[in-house]
A and B are shown apart, each in its own frame.
Chain A
């Protein structure tokens, strides 16, 4: 194993371990903070896969916006800040379904791509992504703008008090 392999294995272990903590911890706030660790690890994997822009957008958007929103929601819903035992449903059905999902996904995907070694294409820098985006993906890009506007209006409409 090379140094890069060891590092990658370590990052993978951190990602999976912190994701497990997100779904098992008894503190809601801790779940949010472990989510930060998971998302940072995934961003590091994006960097290893030469997807620079995606990695930085991951950090800006997920860590900067989504996690902060989630923590705000924790405060606004007066969720229990300390440890709670009633956060979980009975576990066994969920764990069984999860094991089935994991087995089939891993078998299918690993079997389908078993022989591939990663070649080195050019890195996904902001310049290349931007050029590609505005050359072949303009229509989806505009639609995403529309979607964001709709989400904005929807959120405002939902969170107004409904007495008008």
Chain B
């Protein structure tokens, strides 16, 4: 199947993630949407890696996954801290830098 199939699929996935970040309120669901966008980027990286016949894109996708894991760990710790002070995981209520 041609490359454009994967590319359009990744664009659709990225769009869904971006819309999710814009329309959802719960911080944890926002994280899920960010994971969707990162997966779309990974899909294009792997696709281009295959077009070019090299492994660099796959290795970059691997790094993106590791960075995503680190991001989720730190992000969830921040959500926990906000939840502890505000009793809410709603991003619209997290509007103060210092509480």
A121: B residues at CB distance < 8 A: 50, 53-54
Shortest distance in angstroms between B52's beta carbon and chain A's nearest beta carbon?
A: 8
Number of A residues whose C-beta is below 8 Å from B? 82
Complex contact A91–B8 (CB within 8 A) = no
Counting chain A CB atoms within 10 Å of each CB, which of B35, B54, B79 scores highest?
B35
Complex contact B55–A128 (CB within 8 A) = yes
A158: B residues at CB distance < 8 A: 74, 77-78, 80-81
The A90-117 residues at the B interface (CB cut-off 8 A) are 90-91, 93-95, 97-99, 101-102, 105-106, 109-110, 113-114, 116-117
Complex contact A58–B7 (CB within 8 A) = no
The B45-84 residues at the A interface (CB cut-off 8 A) are 46-47, 49-51, 53-56, 58-59, 61-63, 65-74, 76-81, 83-84
What is the count of residue pairs linking A and B with beta-carbon distances less than 8 angstroms? 243
Main secondary structure of the interface of B (DSSP, over half): helix
A119: B residues at CB distance < 8 A: 51, 53
Distance, CA A20 to CA B24, complexed state (A):
12
Residue of B with least CB distance to A99: B15
B50: A residues at CB distance < 8 A: 49-51, 118, 121
Question: Does B96 sit at the interface, judged by CB under 8 A?
Answer: no
A86: B residues at CB distance < 8 A: 25
The A46-87 residues at the B interface (CB cut-off 8 A) are 46, 49-51, 53-54, 57-58, 61-62, 65-66, 69-70, 72-74, 76-77, 79, 86-87
Given the known interface contacts A49-B50, A66-B72, A70-B28, the answer about A102 and B15 at a Cβ–Cβ threshold of 8 Å is yes
Complex contact A66–B24 (CB within 8 A) = no
Complex contact A79–B28 (CB within 8 A) = yes
Instruction: Please report A residues at the B interface, Cβ cutoff 8 Å.
Output: 4-5, 8, 12, 15-16, 19-20, 22-23, 28, 31-32, 35, 38-39, 42, 45-46, 49-51, 53-54, 57-58, 61-62, 65-66, 69-70, 72-74, 76-77, 79, 86-91, 93-95, 97-99, 101-102, 105-106, 109-110, 113-114, 116-119, 121, 124, 128-129, 132-133, 136-137, 140, 144, 147-148, 150-152, 154-155, 158-159, 161
The contact sample of 9 A-B pairs, CB cut-off 8 A, is A19-B12, A23-B19, A23-B33, A51-B58, A53-B58, A62-B65, A73-B80, A73-B89, A121-B54
